């Protein structure tokens, strides 16, 4: 449990890619300015988007293919590799930085909440104890990047998460694929046709979506609700709604990446 009274919950919504990243950065700045606050957010993307990790070169993306299919490109404040946000739910948690806790400690506490929330939907998921098998392709999306303590279903990666550690706050966000749309990421990587075919095969074999894990269709709002219930235990007073105003796009849309 973090040393905050409440997690302030931003209402679920579907927003443009640049706004989604701008709002995540804004929440981090609010927590940096007042470490007594903490935030929780669930959202989807319209149009679909490729998000690049903070240090990932734009040359990793085939921009022409993305533009052809109406897929936008944004940069995340966190690290990691490319994610295609299509048929997924994204979560964001911003909490005060616990000086005695490591980056891994924070990640594990948040990951346990995700496991609990997904289990409540009927998904048999776990924190993997060791690194997953890596793809041999040079280009590599987030869901084929192996790490210890991944959230998996039947040995296949289910959730991709990343952190940004500030002076007084930590932002962690991640993608939870609900349907199979995220697997199309290989179509938009700057690689050979042979590598693209290999990556497409790897995504099918080594990753999973939530609908596969539960065996039925799911609405993003239902997944968000279940996860919100699990995250509520991070704060002594649980979750309370946060009103961003009647038109938050006005104040944040100019902060695009």
Q: Which residues are catalytic?
A: 142
Collapsing DSSP states into helix, strand and coil, what is residue 152?
strand
How many helical (H) and strand (E) elements, i.e. helices and strands, does the chain have?
A: 7, 11
DSSP H stretches of helix in the chain: 17-33, 63-68, 103-120, 193-206, 210-214, 220-231, 248-252
All residues at 6 or more sequence positions from 37 whose CB lies less than 8 Å from its CB, including other chains: 4, 8, 30, 31, 96
Judged by DSSP in three states, 27 sits in: helix
- What is the arrangement of strands in the sheet containing 72-75, beginning at the earlier edge strand? 72-75, 49-52, 83-85
CA distance 75 to 35: 25
DSSP state of 156: E
């Amino acid at each position: 449990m973090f040393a905050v009274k409440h997690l302030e919950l931003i209402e679920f919504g579907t927003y443009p890619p640049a706004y989604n990243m701008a709002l995540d950065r804004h929440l981090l700045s609010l927590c940096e300015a007042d470490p007594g606050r903490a935030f929780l957010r669930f959202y989807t993307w319209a149009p679909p988007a490729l998000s690049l990790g903070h240090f990932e070169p734009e040359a990793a993306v085939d921009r022409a293919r993305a533009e052809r299919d109406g897929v936008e490109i944004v940069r995340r404040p966190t690290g990691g590799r490319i994610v295609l946000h299509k048929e997924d739910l994204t979560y964001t948690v911003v909490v005060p930085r616990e000086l005695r806790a490591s980056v891994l400690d924070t990640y594990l506490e948040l990951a346990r909440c995700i496991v609990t929330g997904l289990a409540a939907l009927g998904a048999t998921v776990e924190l993997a104890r060791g690194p997953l098998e890596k793809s041999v392709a040079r280009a590599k999306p987030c869901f084929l990047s192996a790490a210890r303590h991944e959230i998996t279903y039947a040995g296949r990666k289910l959730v991709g998460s990343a952190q940004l550690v500030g002076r007084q706050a930590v932002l962690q966000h991640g993608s939870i694929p609900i349907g199979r749309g995220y697997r199309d990421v290989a179509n938009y990587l700057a690689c050979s046709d042979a590598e693209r075919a290999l990556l497409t095969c790897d995504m099918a074999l080594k990753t999973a979506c939530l609908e596969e894990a539960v065996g039925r269709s799911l609405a993003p709002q239902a997944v968000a609700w279940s996860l919100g219930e699990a995250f509520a235990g991070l704060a002594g007073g649980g979750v309370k709604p946060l009103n961003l105003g009647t038109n938050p796009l006005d104040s944040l849309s100019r902060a695009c990446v």
